[in-house]
Chains A and B, each alone.
Chain A
Amino acid sequence: MSAAARRRLITPRQSQFCARVILWAMMAATLAVLVFIVLFVVKRGLAHVSWEFLTGAPSLSGKAGGVLPMIVGTLAVTALGVALATPLGVGTAIYLTEYTREGRITKIIRFGAECLAGVPSIIFGLFGFVFFVLVLGFGWSILAGGLTLAFMILPTVIRTSEEAIKSVPPSYREVALSLGASKWESIVKVVLPSAMPGILTGVILGVGRSISETAAVIFTSGSSLSKVIPTSLFDGTRTLAVHFYQLAREGISADKAYATATVLVLAILIINVTAYAIMSRFMKRYR
């Protein structure tokens, strides 16, 4: 007989109650772990984050001093990565949504983007090392790191841009066309401005990923500790995340490690909260 016809030890109501309790407990546990991580790091690190820490140069291999060169290096590789990934990602999204019907080409492009999204950062690191650092001769540099990061965050930008563009009402395009816009003009003047918040979310998430990335930049921008602020695209740099990795792994200074982690975590939190706030406002507008 069917399973439900067996004599029941507990009623459906009871099993529903149990399931609810267990599932909510697991949800709570997950959140608790994540919140614990943030609070733990920030609580121990915040006391050591000072103006001098943020604006000073490191000394004694990071045991003392600040992290300004790393902050500048992180911003530089991130800016470069985003500057390159944004036009590529938005262009891809425009092509996929506006210029082609679903077919073989879109399947290939989507598959490519999805695969790229799944490629581990260490592979990006290996590739960037061979291609940018060695073959193209950029050396360990901001340029090599930024280009590698651009490749890495491209799928994120594509996906969020595509969703944003798709959510712009089709009537906007018709209106623009009927008022004498070419297809391209209707995209640039009407569709993109309307999709901008969504696109921005993707870009901001890309910024977040770039800042927190370690494996891909350690092989492309290098990890040597520099006391001066990088001034050229061809300067090597140690990003904040790489610096933190060195501090934590080598056990150089617990205080500095917590402080660096606090800067990283707070930056990421602010960035992601901003991104999701923009996104949720954007989604509300068209609902």
Chain B
Amino acid sequence: MSNAHPKLDLCELTIRYGEGPAVARNISLGIARNSIHAFIGPAGSGKTSILRTINLLSIDVDGATVTGRVLLDGQNVLEATTNARAELRRKLGMAFATPQPLPRSIYENLVFGPRLAGVRGKAVLDGLVESSLRAAQLWDEVKDRLTHSALALSGGQQQRLCIARIIALEPEVILLDEPCSGLDPISTLKIEQMMQSLKSRFTWIIVTNNTKQAARVSDNTAFFLLGDLIENDTTDKLFTAPVDTRTADYIEGRFG
């Protein structure tokens, strides 16, 4: 994999919680612009912690200690001041394993982020709502009930709403933490199609337990095991000719 100027560059990243052992050790990894990068590995491999460190949630919410660098266009994210973090998180949108709509209407969910960013005016917000819902391929399903509670949507719709909510912020990178783990195959397919169609607009990282999903959607794949990065390559290469036997064992389903 060759990429001279990755969008996101993780350098010697080590993450630990409290006094415990590191959950991710010395991870160095580049994420190419406008690509989909999959993080795979069994539970406890540190992939979610890495994802949560990229937008600093692991530090601000879980109280993790992090060393190393996370470079977004060459700027170290980890050095962001408290006040700059909100701005940063808008560039690094994140969707969680279980869909997390806020307990308010679909419309209010979508304008929550833009309003915090200072976007005003009904026409502007309405436009944002429509364009982000269209991007997430949800517009046709919900356009007549924007004022209804977001909690009334199905699981798959909720997850697409959450991604639309991120898109409304016009982020640069979108982080998906096992976004399809609770969804049925059709909803999963819809989300995968949406990612493909939006590849040109954003840089995606998807953490997934489903190796088939990684093979289907991603351009590059990184395989983690017990906090170590074992192998990182183009998805084609990693799935057809893995270098490390542990990678081969995992993608062939011998463990994990």
Do A and B touch each other in the complex, judged by CB within 8 A?
yes
Residues of B within 8 A of A172 (CB): 100, 102-103
Q: Which of A181, A183, A285 has the most CB of B within 10 A?
A: A181
Query: For the complex, is B93 an interface residue (Cβ under 8 Å from A)?
Result: yes
Residues of B within 8 A of A180 (CB): 86-87, 89-90, 113, 116-117, 169
**B61 near A173 (CB under 8 angstroms)?**
yes
Residues of A within 8 A of B165 (CB): 179
Query: For the complex, is A189 an interface residue (Cβ under 8 Å from B)?
Result: yes
The DSSP consensus for interface residues of chain B is: helix
Q: How far is the CB of B61 from chain A (nearest CB, A)?
A: 6
Query: For the complex, is B245 an interface residue (Cβ under 8 Å from A)?
Result: no
Query: For the complex, is A194 an interface residue (Cβ under 8 Å from B)?
Result: yes
Residues of A within 8 A of B98 (CB): 171
Query: For the complex, is B232 an interface residue (Cβ under 8 Å from A)?
Result: no
**A175 near B57 (CB under 8 angstroms)?**
no
Q: How far is the CB of A193 from chain B (nearest CB, A)?
A: 8
Q: How far is the CB of B58 from chain A (nearest CB, A)?
A: 11
Q: How far is the CB of B132 from chain A (nearest CB, A)?
A: 12
What is the interface size of chain B, counting residues whose CB is below 8 A from a CB of the partner? 25
Q: Mark A153-182, 1 if CB is under 8 A from B, else 0.
A: 000000000000000001111111111111
Q: How far is the CB of A192 from chain B (nearest CB, A)?
A: 13
Q: Mark A262-278, 1 if CB is under 8 A from B, else 0.
A: 00000000000000000
CB < 8 Å neighbour of A174 from B86, B100, B117: B100
**B57 near A174 (CB under 8 angstroms)?**
yes
CB < 8 Å neighbour of A189 from B82, B96, B112, B166: B112
Residues of A within 8 A of B86 (CB): 177, 180-182, 185
Complex: A178 Cα to B103 Cα, angstroms: 16
**B113 near A177 (CB under 8 angstroms)?**
no
Query: For the complex, is A190 an interface residue (Cβ under 8 Å from B)?
Result: yes
Interface range for A: 10 to 19
Q: A173-B61, A174-B57, A174-B96 are in contact. Are A179 and B112 (CB under 8 A)?
A: yes
Residues of B within 8 A of A181 (CB): 86, 116
Q: How far is the CB of B109 from chain A (nearest CB, A)?
A: 9
Residues of B within 8 A of A173 (CB): 61
CB < 8 Å neighbour of B100 from A171, A183, A185, A285: A171
Q: How far is the CB of A206 from chain B (nearest CB, A)?
A: 26
Q: A171-B100, A172-B100, A189-B116 are in contact. Are A178 and B83 (CB under 8 A)?
A: no
Q: How far is the CB of A211 from chain B (nearest CB, A)?
A: 32
Q: A180-B116, A182-B83 are in contact. Are A175 and B60 (CB under 8 A)?
A: no
Which residues B110-149 have CB closer than 8 A to chain A?
A: 112-113, 116-117
Complex: A190 Cα to B116 Cα, angstroms: 12
Query: For the complex, is B94 an interface residue (Cβ under 8 Å from A)?
Result: yes
27 CB contacts below 8 A, A to B, read A171-B98, A171-B100, A172-B100, A174-B61, A174-B96, A175-B96, A176-B102, A177-B86, A177-B89, A178-B93, A178-B94, A179-B89, A179-B90, A179-B93, A179-B166, A180-B90, A180-B116, A181-B86, A182-B82, A182-B83, A182-B85, A182-B86, A185-B116, A189-B112, A189-B116, A190-B102, A285-B103
Given contacts A177-B61, A181-B116, A182-B86, 6 further A-B contacts (CB under 8 A): A172-B103, A178-B57, A179-B116, A180-B116, A180-B117, A181-B86
B interface residue numbers (CB < 8 A to A): 55, 57, 60-61, 82-83, 85-87, 89-90, 93-94, 96, 98, 100, 102-103, 112-113, 116-117, 165-166, 169
A interface residue numbers (CB < 8 A to B): 170-183, 185, 189-190, 194, 285
